[in-house]
Structure 1
Amino acid sequence: MRNFTLYLAVAVCLVASKLSAQETFEAKAHAIADKIENITKDEKAALKIELEAVNKELEAGTITKAQADEKKMKLAETHSRNIETRVAEAQVDLKELIRQKVEGKIKDAKEQMTMRFNWNRNDSVKKNRGEARTTSQFVFAAGVNNLITDKAVAHSDYRYWGSHFYEWGFTSNTRLFKNDNLLHLKYGFSVMYNNLRPTGNRLFVANGDQTNLETSAVNLHDSRFRSVYVTAPIHLEFDFTKAKTNAEGKTLFRTHESVRFGIGGYAGFRVKSKQILKFSEDGHDVTIKEKGGFNTEDFIYGVSTYLGYGETSLYVKYDLNPLFKDNAIKQNNISLGIRFDLN
């Protein structure tokens, strides 16, 4: 699922001991991606075993079908929470890694090898090798999040910097034409976390089929509403990385090395919604987590685009359907942030 750049064997022998002590940005990022993937696999495998045990109890007649269904539901919820908690920890690691990269505290593979030995030797090999027609990437994006009301974000009921989004997933990138590197089809799956923080000491309250912002009876330290979605994004990508010709005259194609522009959309379903409230009561810090539908749409679809250079892009996504399905005033989610496609 990843295409690592192969270095000259002799170069690896010369610097292996030093590189092992200082991992590259790419190596650490892919390690976190593997960790996230393994978390999902582990929890699903554990859930499967536990569900089989419940089925055996049902077959043996020690529990009723209703009891079995209840057990299965609780097990599914438990492992879903486990995935969310463990993935959140990995996301923290990834955010810290990206911060270190932006601040120049960690080097990428090319920068490390440049400091270790003559880069021209390795570059000559790279020029004689292209990528497969289909490559894969780990995608991570983060930024600010808000709702568009009456076709505008101005005078929003939600904090501009306090409301944010995260997204992670895996994509495949296929070159559409055999002998031209410009057009690519990019597709895969993503998990989106959209967070909103209301202004003015308010919280969401579901009143029948309407979900309204109401002033809290207590002084809130934090009021946050989160919706989590699993989506299938698809983009037409224009990659301006130039093709090269090796010593034998063969045309070589590579990606994510120049200006890239993608336009497309996504569709998926809501996994859950949750409101988190924090306040003080009788000298104690209190945190309340309210889970429920809050009259939000169960399905999501929208448009998205990104523009950047190399593996880093400016990213915008916009939901075409409103957040709350029956509210009198329609409000659509919009997000703006930075996106990393780790090839």
Structure 2
Amino acid sequence: MINVNETTNSMTKTLITAALFLSFLTGVNAQTKKPDTVIVELAKSSKLIFTIKDLSDLPTLKAYDYQALFKDILAKIEAKDTALVAVTPMMTEKSFSNEDWGNFDRKDKDRDEDDDDWDNHSRRKRHYRKNSQSFFNFDLGTNNFLQDGKFPDQDNENYAVRPWGSWYVGFNSIQKIRVTGKFYTELGLGISWYNFKFQNDGIVMNKGDQGVEFIEQTLPEINPIKSKLTASYINVSVVPVIDFGSRPHKSLLWGNSDAFRMGIGAYAGYRIGSYAKQVYTIDGDRERERTRSNFYLNNIRYGARLQMGYRGTDIFVNYDLNELFIADKGPKLNAFSFGVIF
């Protein structure tokens, strides 16, 4: 606690006038230099400090009613028992807003510069948070493939698949970045699964020397139930999106839009696993067989992705531009998938 001895009004006025005069003398030739500080000792542990940064402030300082100001300072110190007092300076003609009174020295300028740097950094961080957001989403839909622009079941091929039961599943981590105005980009990293459920439940896949084979099981004691091919991939994607209802200065861009939005981008994936599965009954017993093999599947997949949404609902369409199987090792098939984004 600061103990300020009570002084007479005349002494107070004299000391303050002296402080202003000394400040003026030391600052005449230094208006563009660092602020000057004058310290007036009032008692053993009390002092009055003036810091003048610009001599143009002197006319304003001369207008203060220092007697009223000093009484107000003493009253607040006695009432609050504090070392830092915020007061409203009294003037003969007009009043000013609250100012903080405390101990200042020539280091204030450096501290102010540091504060400015921190404020600028904070504003940059807030701007970044407003223009990007990370989240997870979930793709759920169906998949199939085309051969020369047609579905294989049109030619009754053994590898024709059922749309219902051929599920496409994907888990993705998305970084959504505002580009400008109504445009933003979604950067994705995730994992997905193709599940091709064959129309003929008796189809058995085999990796032969010349290529992949789709053989129909004809043993009478076997009652086929299901046959499918599953392949999993790690994927990356880039999808630029335009949101027709987005406001350029909207602070939270990850909220549901109230209008139509659409994006077209690209993706690439690397196969991390694949297997064929058959489910059947024999002599009344249910059996499952799972054969892990690459089946001459391409290790890389890449293609185009379309996203469309309205309010809280989004759909996707993926189309692989490269073939599912290695050239000359399997049928020329281009896989695709479509569904809903959760």
> What is the letter of the counterpart of residue 234 of structure 2?
V
> What is the letter of the counterpart of residue 174 of structure 2?
T
> What is the letter of the counterpart of residue 254 of structure 1?
L
Gaps (5+ residues) in structure 1? 1-128, 246-250
- Quote the Cα distance in structure 1 between the aligned partners of 2:294 and 2:326: 11
Aligned length: 204
Question: What's 1:324 paired with?
Answer: 325
Q: Moved runs in structure 1, 4+ residues, more than 4 A?
A: none
Question: What's 2:291 paired with?
Answer: 290
Cα separation, partners in 2 of 1:262 and 1:290, compared to 1, 3 Å: same
In the TM superposition, 1:239-258 aligns within 5 A as 239-243=243-247, 252=251, 254-255=253-254, 256-258=256-258
Question: What's 2:170 paired with?
Answer: 167
- 1:311 Cα deviation (Å)? 3.9
- Quote the Cα distance in structure 2 between the aligned partners of 1:154 and 1:212: 15
Q: What is the TM-score with the length of structure 1 in the denominator?
A: 0.56
Deviations 1:207-242 (A, max 9, x none): 124112210133311111100000001101112233
Q: Are 1:223 and 2:196 counterparts?
A: no
Question: What's 2:138 paired with?
Answer: 140
- 1:158 Cα deviation (Å)? 0.7
- 1:336 Cα deviation (Å)? 1.3
Question: What's 1:301 paired with?
Answer: 302
Cα separation, partners in 2 of 1:150 and 1:287, compared to 1, 3 Å: same
Any conservation in 2 of the 1:130–1:253 contact (CA below 8 Å)?
no
> What is the letter of the counterpart of residue 146 of structure 1?
N
Gaps (5+ residues) in structure 2? 1-126, 155-159
Cα separation, partners in 2 of 1:267 and 1:209, compared to 1, 3 Å: farther
Any conservation in 1 of the 2:223–2:282 contact (CA below 8 Å)?
no
- Quote the Cα distance in structure 2 between the aligned partners of 1:154 and 1:260: 33
Question: What's 1:189 paired with?
Answer: 189
Any conservation in 2 of the 1:164–1:194 contact (CA below 8 Å)?
yes
Any conservation in 2 of the 1:130–1:254 contact (CA below 8 Å)?
no
> What is the letter of the counterpart of residue 176 of structure 2?
N
- 1:203 Cα deviation (Å)? 2.4
- 1:160 Cα deviation (Å)? 1.6
- 1:260 Cα deviation (Å)? 1.7
Larger Cα-atom Rg: 2
Deviations 1:126-155 (A, max 9, x none): xxx996101112110111111111112363
In the TM superposition, 1:100-111 aligns within 5 A as none
- Quote the Cα distance in structure 2 between the aligned partners of 1:279 and 1:195: 18
Q: Are 1:155 and 2:153 counterparts?
A: yes
In the TM superposition, 1:124-135 aligns within 5 A as 132-135=130-133
Cα separation, partners in 2 of 1:152 and 1:131, compared to 1, 3 Å: farther
- Quote the Cα distance in structure 1 between the aligned partners of 2:335 and 2:143: 7
Cα separation, partners in 2 of 1:190 and 1:211, compared to 1, 3 Å: same
Any conservation in 1 of the 2:171–2:191 contact (CA below 8 Å)?
yes
> What is the letter of the counterpart of residue 162 of structure 1?
G
Cα separation, partners in 2 of 1:130 and 1:302, compared to 1, 3 Å: closer
- 1:267 Cα deviation (Å)? 0.7
Q: What is the TM-score with the length of structure 2 in the denominator?
A: 0.56
- 1:164 Cα deviation (Å)? 1.5
Any conservation in 1 of the 2:146–2:335 contact (CA below 8 Å)?
yes
Question: What's 2:242 paired with?
Answer: 238
Considering Cα pairs closer than 8 Å and 6+ residues apart, tell me whether 1 or 2 has the greater RCO: 1
Deviations 1:168-191 (A, max 9, x none): 1110010112xx1x1111102011
In the TM superposition, 1:1-343 aligns within 5 A as 132-153=130-151, 155=153, 157-177=160-180, 180=181, 182-200=182-200, 201-217=202-218, 218-243=222-247, 252=251, 254-255=253-254, 256-258=256-258, 259-326=260-327, 327=329, 329-340=331-342
Pairwise CA RMSD: 2.2
Any conservation in 1 of the 2:131–2:253 contact (CA below 8 Å)?
no
> What is the letter of the counterpart of residue 238 of structure 2?
I
